[in-house]
């Protein structure tokens, strides 16, 4: 920062009053969007070295991870030396969708002891995590290790600037064979590493996802079977399901919010932030398709006939999972992570409780759905910039530890805690967790860094792994091909700014506050308000990459 | 801040200009303990109000928090765009929608919310048993300490589609309208929520003002044969008038401030058209999209309008012979 530059900026301040008093000559705000191809990534990602220890029982069709119905009887001790050697505490911020864990935490203390130091967690509410990130990044005040979910990155404007200002470049530590110093990190798959490259530099540790699907349609199989209601296989059957399962007098409604699922059932694509490359090569947005219109129309009907729980219709604060666990609703859509999250605590109080994902289906018999695809990793962990080579290496050793795969003692300790304190073993040797575990476990070390993805249930939910992988293997055939795959596209400010007003209007139509016929006008407003500009941008990104 | 001004207003005689001006040194020697006592409050004001106010410069920038070498130099290195942020705002119909909603809610609450604490205070003041009085007072002002999340959930559990009233009605074979999701009656809903939560709290200032009214006035009036209503009209209300005018002016200055959480929580339920207010607009269009400059511009706009309204209302109050926020010297 030279003196002349400073002075120029100071002069800019002084000239402000004089120069730009008129509106006419002023520039409008907004960031300059960039897109980074992953082609240049090949040189900076670690060389893959398989770290899998246990052969899977249930093979997943990639990108669906493998499942394990049986827990391994012998566990490997993957890392013998202590990761933390400086004695300095490590600060980590992670999200969690549940009650905050206690600060005095035996599970964290046990892992810390194994790491040889102290990891201090700041566990933040996952629902409002984006707001925290916004201010944290804006103030340039980040912890040693910061977990950022992929869907939040999409919403963070200027993240391509932020990433280089705030976080350490990991290329010098991990590129190619250098990763052999961190064997567990070298076991993460190459696609998810390539997805962790910003501006040609390796910037983060990926968290490989166990499935590529942003949402699944869950239902209460036990209740539906008991009442003789079959899982839907067409859009009309979804409606029939709603009719049969709703009983207002008993305080029961069929649905939580199912809009995202209905869009996919109707066949509205747009994995890349809503964008699709049409058959004619033209770039269009999901909003502009008849499939989307059909989905909106269907939702308007569902709301009108009051098939969605009124609490969910009347407040942002209502908790869909609590209603589902409590038997107040019977079908909702959520990410794959919700499956286990709901099932485990629910089956503890009601052994018959059975949550299943509805087998993927299209709106009409014989018409396939479009399943949106996600990125190879769902979260990233970033290392704070400027901590020095020694400290960075130490933090990478911590991340190497958290990357220990299924079948290691490290994996068990991070996932289940201490035997006798947090869990006991059943006859097959599988961990059975207790109340202390439920209180203390908040995915702390799981979200600190990624590990090879596996699908693992437990004795309480013995069919989970097979159910999950089975559903994913079937749904993979409908996975949308994303032409932008592998390119890091920053969402243009114009599109980001018009997104909320448009979503609000679409919600209005669903709730019956605007007529369905107004959708065409809403979409036109969206085009004029920034959608058209965003289209040009997304088309240009494709052209620039020769796709 | 409002309490100090309220006290000043309540003791107008003391602030009449002193007969002779003393030198600064003499006054310093005399007043230093008082000044010392003010220091913590001044420091608080400086650190949490005046320093952050400097950040308003980003209203004239395309602020990029990642420019320069640190958070401070980001201010220097962000591009100056003059009134670009304001232009963006003023050309955006959604902004004006939110301003219109905010003003409508303020106007509505001025009529249907503002008088309630006054009435409540007068009613409570007429209760003679100190025990019942303090019990009622505690009960009505306790909800002030509940968060909006709690208040909205409570209303939903009572009035929502799956709430107590709706379920009871259903079991009796009736159906009641779902007021929690009706955009047309939303303004009544939020006002009732606000009354339930804050009316008791707002009452405290008026209770203090009521206590300051000379009881001998009531005795004299009663001796002259004045009934309950006459005493209310000729003694109680005139006694409260300076406080009422003062709070009214301050409320006007806050005209573009109607709260945030209450609206964020219920926004989906009734839609943006009914529930978007300035603060939620700033949140969704400034902070969520990280257009910090636009957010700051909206905040500055709000502050300037508020200031103009305060000054205007104060002038008006002076013209009608009231004290307003400060007495005219």
Q: A504-538 burial, b if ≥16 CB within 10 A, otherwise e?
A: bbbbbbbbebbeeeebeebbebbbebbbebbbebb
Q: Is the pLDDT of residue A13 over 60?
A: no
In this prediction the pTM is: 0.82
Q: Is the pLDDT of residue B11 over 50?
A: no
Cβ A184 vs Cβ A79: under 8 Å: yes
Average pLDDT score over residue span A496-520:
90
Q: Report pLDDT digits (tens) over A422-457.
A: 999 998 899 998 889 989 999 999 999 999 999 999
Cβ A82 vs Cβ A115: under 8 Å: yes
Q: What is the pLDDT of residue A476?
A: 95
Nearest by CB to A29, from B81, B273, B276: name it.
B81
Separation between Cα atoms, residue B51 and residue A233, nearest integer Å: 61
Return the DSSP state at B48. Answer: I
Q: Report pLDDT digits (tens) over B91-117.
A: 888 899 999 999 999 999 999 999 999
Q: Is the pLDDT of residue A511 over 50?
A: yes
Q: What is the pLDDT of residue A506?
A: 94
Separation between Cα atoms, residue B305 and residue B307, nearest integer Å: 5
Q: What is the pLDDT of residue A29?
A: 62
Write out residues 150-179 of A within 8 Å (CB-CB) of B. Answer: 155-158, 161-162, 165-166
| For chain A, the helix, strand and coil percentages under 3-state DSSP, each to the nearest 5 | 45, 15, 40
Cβ A455 vs Cβ A465: under 8 Å: yes
Residue-level length of chain A: 547
Residue A198: which H helix or E strand, with range?
A: strand A197-198
Q: Please answer yes or no on whether A155 and B71 come within 8 Å at the CB atom.
A: no
Q: What is the pLDDT of residue B15?
A: 47
Q: B148-159 vs B164-171: helix axis angle to the nearest 10?
A: 10
Closest-approach residue (CA) in chain A for B162: A310
Separation between Cα atoms, residue A463 and residue A346, nearest integer Å: 15
Residues in A touching B160 (Cβ below 8 Å): 310-311, 314-315
Q: Please answer yes or no on whether A507 and B271 come within 8 Å at the CB atom.
A: yes
Residues in A touching B72 (Cβ below 8 Å): none
Task: Decide if A190 touches B, using CB distance below 8 A.
Answer: no
A529 pLDDT tier (thresholds 50, 70, 90): confident
Task: Decide if A496 touches B, using CB distance below 8 A.
Answer: yes
**Tokens coding B161:** 């589609």
Q: Report pLDDT digits (tens) over A308-337.
A: 998 888 766 568 999 999 999 999 999 898
Average pLDDT score over residue span B9-32:
68
Q: Please answer yes or no on whether A19 and B82 come within 8 Å at the CB atom.
A: yes
**What does the angle CA A524 – CA A530 – CA A536 come to, to the nearest 5 degrees?**
100
Backbone conformation region of residue A494, classed left if phi is above 0, alpha if psi is from -120 to 50, else beta: alpha
Separation between Cα atoms, residue A232 and residue A221, nearest integer Å: 11
Q: Is the pLDDT of residue A11 over 80?
A: no
DSSP string for A392-454: HHHHHHHHHHHTPPTTBHHHHHHHH--BTTTEEE-TTS-EEE-HHHHHH-SSHHHHHS----E
A546 pLDDT tier (thresholds 50, 70, 90): confident
Average pLDDT score over residue span A113-140:
91
Task: Decide if A459 touches B, using CB distance below 8 A.
Answer: no
Q: Please answer yes or no on whether B161 and A313 come within 8 Å at the CB atom.
A: yes
Residue-level length of chain B: 329
Peptide bond into A63 cis (omega under 30): yes
Q: Report pLDDT digits (tens) over A196-220.
A: 988 889 999 999 999 999 999 999 9
B285 pLDDT tier (thresholds 50, 70, 90): confident
What value does the mean pLDDT of chain A take?
89
The nearest CA of chain A is from the CA of B283 a distance in Å of 10
Q: Where are the beta strands (DSSP E) in A89-128?
A: 90-96, 119-125
Q: Is the pLDDT of residue B324 over 80?
A: no
User: What percentage of chain A carries pLDDT values higher than 90?
Assistant: 68
Separation between Cα atoms, residue B329 and residue B16, nearest integer Å: 7
Q: What is the pLDDT of residue A282?
A: 92
The nearest CA of chain A is from the CA of B324 a distance in Å of 34
**Tokens coding B74:** 């980001």
Lowest mean pLDDT segment, chosen from A36-40, A231-235, A341-345, B283-287: A36-40
What value does the mean pLDDT of chain B take?
86
A20 pLDDT tier (thresholds 50, 70, 90): very low
CA distances from A224 to A221, A355, B107 (A): 5, 10, 51
Q: B186-211 vs B2-10: helix axis angle to the nearest 10?
A: 40
Q: Is the pLDDT of residue A90 over 50?
A: yes
Closest of A103, A105, A98 to residue A125, by C-alpha: A98
Task: Decide if A504 touches B, using CB distance below 8 A.
Answer: yes
Alpha helices in A326-388 (DSSP H): 337-349
B252 pLDDT tier (thresholds 50, 70, 90): confident
Bridge-based pairing state of the strands A454-456 and A66-68: parallel
Q: Please answer yes or no on whether B269 and A139 come within 8 Å at the CB atom.
A: no
Lowest mean pLDDT segment, chosen from A114-118, A356-360, B220-224: B220-224
Q: Is the pLDDT of residue A121 over 80?
A: yes
The nearest CA of chain B is from the CA of A508 a distance in Å of 6
Q: Please answer yes or no on whether A508 and B161 come within 8 Å at the CB atom.
A: no
Residues in A touching B289 (Cβ below 8 Å): 157, 493, 496-497, 500
A392 pLDDT tier (thresholds 50, 70, 90): very high
Q: Residue B228 contacts by C-beta under 8 Å, 6 or more apart in sequence?
A: none
SS3 (DSSP) at A149:
strand
Residues in A touching B77 (Cβ below 8 Å): 9
Nearest by CB to A310, from B79, B160, B293: name it.
B160
Q: Please answer yes or no on whether B88 and A10 come within 8 Å at the CB atom.
A: no
Q: Please answer yes or no on whether B181 and A314 come within 8 Å at the CB atom.
A: yes
**Tokens coding A155:** 């919403």
Residues in B touching A511 (Cβ below 8 Å): 181, 271
- Complex-level ipTM: 0.75
Residues in A touching B266 (Cβ below 8 Å): 314-316
CA A545 to chain centre: 26
SS3 (DSSP) at B68:
coil
Q: Which residue has the tokens 């299924």?
A: A406
B329 pLDDT tier (thresholds 50, 70, 90): low
Q: What is the pLDDT of residue A12?
A: 38
Residues in B touching A315 (Cβ below 8 Å): 152-153, 156, 160, 180, 265-266, 268-269
Separation between Cα atoms, residue A347 and residue A361, nearest integer Å: 27
For residue B115, report the phi and psi dihedrals to the nearest 5 degrees.
-70, -20
Residues in A touching B291 (Cβ below 8 Å): 29-30, 157, 493, 497
Average pLDDT score over residue span B107-128:
91
**Tokens coding B140:** 């009505």
Average pLDDT score over residue span A97-103:
88
For residue B241, report the phi and psi dihedrals to the nearest 5 degrees.
-55, -45
């Amino acid at each position: 920062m030279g003196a002349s530059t400073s002075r120029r900026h100071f002069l800019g301040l002084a000239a402000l009053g004089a120069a730009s008093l008129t509106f006419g000559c002023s520039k409008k705000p907004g960031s300059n969007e960039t897109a980074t191809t992953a082609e240049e990534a090949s040189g900076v990602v670690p060389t893959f070295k398989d770290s899998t220890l246990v052969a899977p029982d249930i093979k997943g069709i990639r990108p669906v991870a493998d499942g394990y119905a049986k827990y391994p009887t012998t566990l490997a001790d993957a890392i013998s030396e202590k990761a933390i050697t400086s004695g300095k505490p490590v600060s980590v911020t992670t999200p969690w969708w549940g009650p905050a864990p206690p600060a005095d935490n035996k599970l964290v203390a046990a892992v810390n002891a194994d790491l040889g130091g102290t990891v201090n967690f700041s566990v933040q509410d996952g629902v409002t995590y984006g707001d925290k990130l916004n201010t944290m990044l804006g103030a340039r005040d980040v912890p040693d290790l910061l977990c950022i979910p992929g869907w939040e990155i999409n919403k963070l404007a200027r993240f391509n600037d932020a990433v280089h200002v705030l976080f350490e470049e990991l290329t010098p530590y991990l590129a190619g064979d250098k990763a052999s110093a961190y064997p567990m990190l070298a076991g993460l798959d190459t696609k998810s590493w390539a997805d962790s490259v910003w501006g040609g530099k390796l910037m983060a540790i990926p968290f490989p996802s166990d499935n590529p699907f942003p949402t699944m349609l869950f239902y209460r199989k036990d209740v539906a079977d008991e009442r003789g209601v079959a899982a839907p296989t067409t859009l009309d059957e979804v409606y029939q399901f709603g009719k049969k399962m709703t009983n207002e007098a008993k305080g029961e409604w069929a649905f939580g919010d199912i809009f995202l699922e209905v869009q996919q059932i109707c066949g509205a694509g747009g994995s890349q932030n809503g964008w699709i490359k049409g058959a004619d090569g033209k770039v269009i947005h999901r909003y502009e398709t008849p499939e989307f219109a059909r989905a909106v129309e269907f939702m308007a009907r569902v709301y009108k006939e009051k098939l969605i729980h009124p609490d969910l219709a009347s407040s942002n604060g209502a908790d869909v999972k609590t209603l589902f666990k409590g038997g107040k609703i019977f079908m909702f859509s959520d990410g794959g992570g919700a499956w286990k999250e709901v099932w485990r605590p629910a089956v503890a109080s009601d052994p018959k409780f059975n949550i299943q994902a509805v087998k993927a289906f299209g709106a009409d018999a014989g018409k396939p759905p479009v399943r949106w695809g996600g990125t190879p990793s769902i979260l990233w962990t970033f290392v704070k910039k400027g901590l020095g080579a020694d400290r960075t290496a130490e933090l990478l050793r911590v991340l190497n530890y958290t990357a220990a795969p299924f079948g290691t003692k490290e994996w068990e300790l991070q996932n289940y805690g201490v035997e006798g304190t947090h869990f006991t073993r059943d006859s097959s040797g599988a961990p059975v967790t207790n109340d202390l575990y439920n209180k203390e476990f908040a995915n702390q070390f799981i979200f600190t860094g990624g590990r090879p993805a596996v699908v693992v249930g437990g004795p309480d939910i013995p069919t989970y792994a097979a159910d999950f992988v089975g559903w994913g293997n079937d749904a993979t055939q409908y996975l949308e091909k994303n032409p932008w795959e592998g390119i890091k596209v920053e969402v243009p400010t114009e599109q980001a700014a018009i997104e909320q007003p448009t979503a609000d209007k679409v919600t209005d139509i669903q709730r019956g506050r605007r007529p369905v016929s107004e959708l065409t006008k809403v979409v036109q407003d969206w085009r004029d308000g920034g959608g058209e500009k965003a289209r040009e941008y997304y088309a240009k990104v494709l052209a620039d990459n020769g796709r | 801040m409002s309490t100090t001004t309220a006290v000043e207003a309540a003791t107008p005689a003391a602030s009449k200009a002193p007969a002779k001006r003393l030198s600064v040194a003499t006054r310093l020697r005399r007043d230093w303990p008082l000044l010392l006592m003010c220091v913590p409050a001044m420091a608080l004001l400086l650190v949490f109000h005046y320093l952050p106010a400097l950040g308003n410069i980003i209203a004239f920038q395309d602020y990029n928090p990642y420019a320069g070498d640190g958070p401070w130099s980001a201010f220097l290195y962000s591009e100056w765009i003059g009134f670009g942020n304001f232009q963006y705002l003023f050309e955006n119909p959604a902004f004006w929608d939110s301003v219109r909603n905010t003003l409508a809610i303020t106007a509505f609450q001025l009529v249907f919310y503002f008088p309630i604490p006054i009435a409540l205070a007068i009613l409570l003041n007429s209760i003679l048993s100190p025990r019942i009085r303090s019990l009622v007072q505690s009960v009505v002002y306790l909800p002030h300490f509940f968060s909006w999340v709690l208040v909205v959930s409570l209303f939903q559990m009572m009035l929502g589609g799956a709430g107590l009233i709706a379920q009871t009605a259903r079991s009796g074979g009736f159906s009641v309208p779902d007021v929690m999701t009706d955009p047309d009656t939303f303004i009544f809903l939020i006002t009732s929520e606000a009354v339930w939560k804050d009316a008791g709290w707002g009452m405290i200032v008026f209770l203090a003002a009521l206590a300051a009214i000379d009881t001998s006035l009531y005795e004299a009036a009663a001796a002259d044969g004045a009934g309950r209503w006459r005493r209310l009209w000729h003694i109680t209300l005139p006694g409260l008038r300076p406080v009422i005018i003062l709070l009214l002016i301050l409320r006007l200055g806050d005209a573009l401030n109607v709260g945030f959480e209450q609206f964020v929580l219920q926004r989906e339920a009734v839609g943006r058209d009914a529930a978007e207010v300035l603060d939620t607009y700033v949140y969704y269009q400034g902070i969520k999209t990280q257009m910090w400059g636009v957010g700051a511009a909206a905040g500055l706009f709000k502050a300037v309008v508020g200031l103009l309204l305060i000054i205007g209302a104060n002038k008006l109050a002076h013209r009608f012979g009231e004290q307003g926020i400060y007495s005219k010297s």
